Amino acid sequence: MCGIIGHIGTGNALETLLTGLENLEYRGYDSAGIAVQNGSGIAVQKRSGKVDELKNSIGDRHIEGNVGIGHTRWSTHGPPTDENAHPHTDDTADVAVVHNGIIENYADLKSWLRERGHEFTSDTDTEVIPHLIQYYLDAGMANEAAFRRAIDELEGSYAVTAMLDGEHVLYAARQGSPLVVGVEDDEFFLASDVPAFLEYTDTVVYLEDGDVAIVDEDGVEFTDLAGESITREPETVEWDPEQAGKGEYDHFMLKEIYEQPTSLAQAIEGRIDPENGRIALEDFPSGTFEGVGNVQLIACGTSYHAALYGSLALNQAGIRATALLANEYSVTAPPVDDETLVIAVTQSGETADTLNALRQATAAGADTLTVTNVVGSTAAREADDTLFIRAGPEIGVAATKTFSSQAVMLTLLAQRIAADTCGEPPADLTSLLPDLSRMPAQLESMLVTDDAARIADRYRDSQSYFFIGRGLGYPVALEGALKFKEITYEHAEGFASGELKHGPLALVTPNTPVFAVFTGDEDEKTLKNAEEAQTRGAPVIAICPDDHRAVEVADRHIAIPATDSELAGLFANVQLQLVSYHAANQLDRPIDKPRNLAKSVTVE
């Protein structure tokens, strides 16, 4: 989820590119760069850090030209260094490229190009693109043909914008990552997202998957990858530039909830093979976890709930695993032996409590692994290994899309660990993986329903809100309650459904709606627990598929798609995120920045 900007116009492109990058910083902000046709070649300037650091590094350097491209990066391959920042060029710096997405076959392409004498300077997947274009140029192809041919070789997802020395043309292609052209008289813009250029134009043309756009000073030509002309109609966007970072959404939290089909697709891309029932986690080939006898997962807040989800998935796969609050670890850590793997789960990779626990585990001699969203974060650097969840920047203080991606990655990791230690994956991967690959599309369909908004409205004046679940539904219940209290400031509690009768039932009244999560883990028992609350007057809201028996019993129902029991809770969690969001919105709470809280808690 990086940001792309490109500009061809009458004035100097540099200023437009830098403004565009600042407008896009919410998409990624660990490094930035620009490339401009400078009269005597392509001038490239790039830096790790924020756009301000790029600006400072440009200083008095004379960069002037009316064609250019820029990029703000959210690392997926390689740490946030100057070398890994975009734009990337070929050996001769005649081709400059910016790219969003993931090139799945980059390793094969890189070694193929190396065998033909190409040298690489970065760890990125992107760098193969300018080298491929150059390869086909050297083979005698015309510029446009070389661009198309190189794009045709890419597998994975991409939004690519390229510029070749000596001509005033921008080439763009889209497959799975957004790309949009902005048009204003004789000024043309290319961007991953409209906010990049909204102060210059509100007339836009969206590229669709498989489209190529060729932009010069006279206009834009759209074709398919084979070069056949296609028509794409311009549209007018009606956004206030101030709001544009949130796109059409009122809050980042809502935007991030709605990004989950994309962030999940990105998390699993290239990592599962549903047809053959295989999981391929890039840095963890078969055998990596052979010596693991027990797993401790350490985390805080929402990440702790994801860790709990992961620990249950591990337990169900036959591995001894415990989720532990990182801030309790210094006093309650179970013993570590040479078979212990400690997994730090942290979106930011900077949470002080989690870092301290990770350091304690390292000092005790455990093998360590971090599951995080942030390449180059402290937890990623300090652990022995890292698994990135690739959710893209999360701006809202309330974690949403990162929970889903963490839980999915831990579910896959559990199967990989179990396969290494038990000899074969214990779950039926031929059922789980196809369901997982369907998940982004199912989420997309679920997100257009309004069940959650209606329920939030129906129970808006309640006194307390309870969330219950069993098995993998339990961490989802805890997370549902945390989200609710965090952004509504209303009282909310999550319980294992069987615990309700051991105390909390005393609090149940007609004013305490009970949200019951059904995941397929002994649902009959959860239903019985929900009925115990219902008998005491509490309204019960069942989160389950339409044909579930709980629908007949509950007072209300929020629908989730039918899926594998390892994934059902994640759909329920998204619905509960929406319930919290709509409840908080009705109360006019500052949803993206709840009182007293911070996105990254760097103190103990």
Name the segment binding ligand M6R (CB under 6 A); options: 69-77, 200-208, 307-315, 394-402.
Answer: 394-402
Q: Can residue 19 be called a binding residue for ligand M6R (CB under 6 A)?
A: no
What angle do the packed helices 260-268 and 429-446 form, to 10 degrees?
160
HSE-CB at 117 with a 13 A cutoff on CA atoms is: 5
Active-site annotation holder among 501, 528, 593, 599: 599
Q: Is residue 302 within 8 Å of residue 389, measured between CB atoms?
A: no
Q: How far is the CB of 62 from ligand M6R (least distance, A)?
A: 42
Active-site annotation holder among 2, 110, 300, 401: 2
Judged by CB under 6 A, the chain residues 292 through 331 that form the site for ligand M6R are 300-303
User: Could you tell me which of 71, 67, 72 has the C-alpha nearest to residue 12?
Assistant: 67
Q: Is residue 119 within 8 Å of residue 91, measured between CB atoms?
A: yes
- State the CB neighbour count (10 A cutoff) for residue 588: 7
Q: How far is the CB of 256 from ligand M6R (least distance, A)?
A: 11
**Per-position b or e across 522-537, b if 16+ CB within 10 A of its CB:** ebeebbebbebbbeee
Q: Which of 187, 486, 493, 566 binds ligand M6R (CB under 6 A)?
A: 486
> Which run of H or of E encompasses 124?
none
Instruction: Specify the residue for token string 């963490």.
Output: 406
Cα 387 to chain centroid, rounded: 13
User: Could you tell me which of 291, 136, 266, 161 has the C-alpha nearest to residue 214?
Assistant: 161
Give the 3-state secondary structure of residue 63.
coil
Q: Which of 507, 551, 562, 601 binds ligand M6R (CB under 6 A)?
A: 601
Q: Which of 38, 201, 266, 351 binds ligand M6R (CB under 6 A)?
A: 351
Judged by CB under 6 A, the chain residues 185 through 214 that form the site for ligand M6R are none
Name the segment binding ligand M6R (CB under 6 A); options: 99-107, 284-292, 345-353, 358-366.
Answer: 345-353
Sequence-separated (6 or more) residues with CB below 8 Å from residue 331: none
**Beta carbon nearer to ligand M6R, 353 or 521:** 353
Q: Which of 16, 66, 348, 378 binds ligand M6R (CB under 6 A)?
A: 348
Instruction: Specify the residue for token string 């200083």.
Output: 59
**Beta carbon nearer to ligand M6R, 9 or 480:** 480
Structure tokens at 300: 């805080």
**Beta carbon nearer to ligand M6R, 244 or 300:** 300
Q: Can residue 347 be called a binding residue for ligand M6R (CB under 6 A)?
A: yes
> Which run of H or of E encompasses 34?
strand 31-37
Q: Which of 399, 455, 527, 543 binds ligand M6R (CB under 6 A)?
A: 399
Q: Which of 19, 66, 346, 488 binds ligand M6R (CB under 6 A)?
A: 346
Name the segment binding ligand M6R (CB under 6 A); options: 51-59, 77-85, 396-404, 548-556.
Answer: 396-404
Query: How far apart, in whole angstroms, are the C-alpha atoms of residue 279 and residue 271?
Result: 6
User: Interior CA angle at 87 toward 83 and 91, to 5°?
Assistant: 70
x/- letters, 245..284, toward ligand M6R (CB under 6 A)? ----------------------------------------
- DSSP 8-state secondary structure symbol assigned to residue 167: S
- DSSP 8-state secondary structure symbol assigned to residue 506: G
Q: How far is the CB of 394 from ligand M6R (least distance, A)?
A: 9
- DSSP 8-state secondary structure symbol assigned to residue 504: G
Q: How far is the CB of 471 from ligand M6R (least distance, A)?
A: 22
Name the segment binding ligand M6R (CB under 6 A); options: 358-366, 397-405, 450-458, 540-548.
Answer: 397-405
Query: How far apart, in whole angstroms, are the C-alpha atoms of residue 240 and residue 244?
Result: 6
> Which run of H or of E encompasses 475?
helix 473-488
Name the segment binding ligand M6R (CB under 6 A); options: 90-98, 207-215, 344-352, 359-367.
Answer: 344-352
Q: What is the full DSSP assignment across 244-274?
A: GGGTT-SSHHHHHHHTHHHHHHHHHTTTEET
Query: How far apart, in whole angstroms, are the C-alpha atoms of residue 302 and residue 476?
Result: 10
The residue number whose beta carbon is nearest to ligand M6R equals: 301
Strand 464-469 with 514-517, pairing: parallel
Q: Is residue 214 within 8 Å of residue 171, measured between CB atoms?
A: yes
**Beta carbon nearer to ligand M6R, 100 or 327:** 327
Active site residue 2: yes
**Beta carbon nearer to ligand M6R, 30 or 420:** 30
**Beta carbon nearer to ligand M6R, 33 or 301:** 301
Active site residue 599: yes
Q: How far is the CB of 101 from ligand M6R (least distance, A)?
A: 24
Amino acid at 546: D
Q: How far is the CB of 460 from ligand M6R (least distance, A)?
A: 21
**Beta carbon nearer to ligand M6R, 303 or 529:** 303
**Beta carbon nearer to ligand M6R, 146 or 300:** 300
Judged by CB under 6 A, the chain residues 404 through 433 that form the site for ligand M6R are none
Q: Which of 198, 397, 517, 570 binds ligand M6R (CB under 6 A)?
A: 397
**Beta carbon nearer to ligand M6R, 438 or 599:** 599
Q: Can residue 124 be called a binding residue for ligand M6R (CB under 6 A)?
A: no
**Does the bond joining 87 to the residue before it have cis omega, within 30 degrees of 0?**
yes
Query: How far apart, in whole angstroms, are the C-alpha atoms of residue 563 and residue 306?
Result: 19
Handedness of CA 571, 368, 104, 70 (dihedral sign): positive
Count the residues of the shown chain that bind ligand M6R, applying the rule CB under 6 A. 16
Per CB under 6 A, residues contacting ligand M6R are: 300-303, 346-348, 351, 354, 397-399, 486, 597, 600-601
* Residues recognised as catalytic: 2, 599
